[in-house]
Homo-oligomer: A and B are copies of this chain.
Amino acid sequence: MTMEIDRNGLEVLDRVQCLGLLSTATIGRVGVTSGALPTILPVNFRLEGQEILIRSGEGAKMDVALRDAVVAFEVDDFDPIDHTGWSVVVTGITRSITDEDELERLRGIPIARWASGGNGHLVAISTDLVSGRRLGLRRR
């Protein structure tokens, strides 16, 4: 098994590795456009199948920003002492979950609310584009 290294010397992670790392994390950051300006918002999330589930925050601005939008979603875990860590970036399309059956099915999936404070509706982000990098010597 060969390891792909990018031009910056970082190990390139494949989709399976990236989704595996996403399944271990609970806080990510979503990059959206709000009022024609880019912004980044930390959010609690859960990976459910091939989709990222978040809750929209309260407030119309974020609701609009997450409505059928193309967004970036990033999760990382770095150790600033030993300079190891990884990052995964997803670019996907948001989808508001409004179907009653789907909401019922997802009711059992706990998404924490403390990071974003959001009490809004559930939003899924597709994982159309997934890329990841690992640096340092740590291996799974």
Contact = CB atoms under 8 A, between A and B. Distances in A.
Interface of A: 6-10, 26-27, 29, 31-33, 37-42, 57-59, 70-74, 76, 78, 80, 83, 85, 87, 89, 91, 112, 114-119, 129, 135-136
A129 to B, nearest CB: 7
Contacts of A73: 40
A40 B7 contact: no
B7 A58 contact: yes
Contacts of A78: 27, 42, 115
B89 A114 contact: no
In the assembly, how many copies of this chain are there? 2
A9 B80 CA distance: 30
Contacts of A10: 117
Given A38-B38, A38-B91, 5 more contacts: A8-B119, A29-B74, A31-B40, A37-B129, A39-B72
